[in-house]
Amino acid sequence: MRVVVSGGSGFLGSHLCEALLSRGDSVCCLDNHSSGRPVNIAHLRHDARFAFEAWDVTERFSVSGDVDAVVHLASPASPVDYQRFPLETLAAGSKGTENMLRLAERHSARFVLASTSEVYGDPEVHPQDEEYWGHVNPIGPRSVYDEAKRFAEAVTMAYRRSLAADVGIVRIFNTYGPRMRSYDGRVVSSFIRQALRGEPLTVFGDGSQTRSFCYVDDMVRGLIAMIDSDRPGPFNLGNPNERTVRELAELIAVITGSHCGLRFLPLPVDDPVRRRPVVARAREALGWQPRVSLEEGLRNTVDWFAAQSRTPLRPSHQSPVGRPS
């Protein structure tokens, strides 16, 4: 297959490009390097089946030759990133999704949208299955991401209804692993960075809020199963193993041997209280389920972060997200 991956230099995108190449596919990776990093795909550049285009998905994109699938991952994805770039986030989810849908349509290719658990907002139903319509504050600070992804789902389904487009939607829950940016503001990367530097772990609120963390390799298997499927979804992809943020901090402290304790800071506005996916649909339709335990995944991630700190990247690679072009 030849697969176009938007956001292919990002944390998740780079793992997807790598997995597609290793099963024999060709990959055209698009990224504007607003939050994706060249270093994430540097090891793929020598592969003749890998092509990179510096591209902002809010611009129309065309490519010659066959395309079998388009996977739209491009967007700022951590709360710190999307609140820093609210307009760019809205554009990536709206214009960006339509441009990638058009690209898929022109090539009669399958289109896979990376949607998010954030479409459920601060859920009043627990755990969350795909029937739940969500509880999103449309004017809050997270709305730029949540509503952009909700629009992205709507336009994807409109292409299916009006053009019979071959589309699939996955709703991605919290995912972690190697290649997260240490300053992306997410909880796993922040806690690991702090623990390895001998700093206290910054727990927001009292740490009783929950998330369910999925290791990146499991997520990539789910994405590939959706590329290969003809089902529209939406399907939740995530690990139903739910933990409080405080439990996560304590686990990372044990794995890293940190004795620096916790530092409690105010809870951000509209921070969801509980989140856990029901993955029965993905299991039935895609034959997919997560395999990697939180302990194992965190150990791999800590090892990766520790290796990075032994061979530090240039400061620009470690700094928070740059402005999208």
Note whether 194 and 201 are within 8 A (CB).
yes
Range 71-100, binding ligand UDP (CB under 6 A): 78-79
Q: Minimum Å distance from CB 271 to ligand UDP? A: 4
Range 196-255, binding ligand UDP (CB under 6 A): 202-204, 209, 211, 245
Considering the complex, state which of residue 47 and residue 271 has its C-beta at the smaller distance from ligand UDP.
Answer: 271
Note whether 252 and 298 are within 8 A (CB).
yes
42 φ/ψ angles, rounded to the nearest 5 degrees: -55, -40
Considering the complex, state which of residue 110 and residue 150 has its C-beta at the smaller distance from ligand UDP.
Answer: 150
Q: Minimum Å distance from CB 277 to ligand UDP? A: 12
Contact flag: residue 107 with ligand UDP (CB under 6 A): no
Q: Minimum Å distance from CB 126 to ligand UDP? A: 15
Considering the complex, state which of residue 4 and residue 187 has its C-beta at the smaller distance from ligand UDP.
Answer: 187
Q: Minimum Å distance from CB 278 to ligand UDP? A: 17
One symbol per residue from 166 to 195: x for binding ligand UDP (CB under 6 A), - otherwise; what is it? --------x----------xxx--x-----
Q: Minimum Å distance from CB 205 to ligand UDP? A: 6
**Dist CA 51 CA 272 (whole Å):** 38
**Dist CA 153 CA 67 (whole Å):** 22
Q: Minimum Å distance from CB 198 to ligand UDP? A: 16
Considering the complex, state which of residue 56 and residue 81 has its C-beta at the smaller distance from ligand UDP.
Answer: 81
Buried b / exposed e over 138-171, threshold 16 CB at 10 Å, is: eeeebbbbbbbbbebbebbbebbeeeebbbbbbb
Q: Minimum Å distance from CB 55 to ligand UDP? A: 26
Of 53, 68, 242, 271, the one binding ligand UDP by CB under 6 A: 271
One symbol per residue from 19 to 58: x for binding ligand UDP (CB under 6 A), - otherwise; what is it? ----------------------------------------
Ramachandran area for residue 58 (φ above 0: left; ψ -120 to 50: alpha; else beta): alpha
Considering the complex, state which of residue 80 and residue 101 has its C-beta at the smaller distance from ligand UDP.
Answer: 80
Ramachandran area for residue 233 (φ above 0: left; ψ -120 to 50: alpha; else beta): left
Task: Tell me the site size for ligand UDP, rule CB under 6 A.
Answer: 15
Q: Is 120 a catalytic residue?
A: no
Catalytic residue, chosen from 145, 159, 176, 215, is: 145
Note whether 85 and 57 are within 8 A (CB).
no
Considering the complex, state which of residue 9 and residue 78 has its C-beta at the smaller distance from ligand UDP.
Answer: 78
Q: Prior bond to 141 cis, omega within 30?
A: no
Considering the complex, state which of residue 7 and residue 224 has its C-beta at the smaller distance from ligand UDP.
Answer: 7
Give me the active site residues, please.
145
Q: Give contact residues for ligand UDP (rule: CB under 6 A).
A: 78-79, 174, 185-187, 190, 202-204, 209, 211, 245, 268, 271
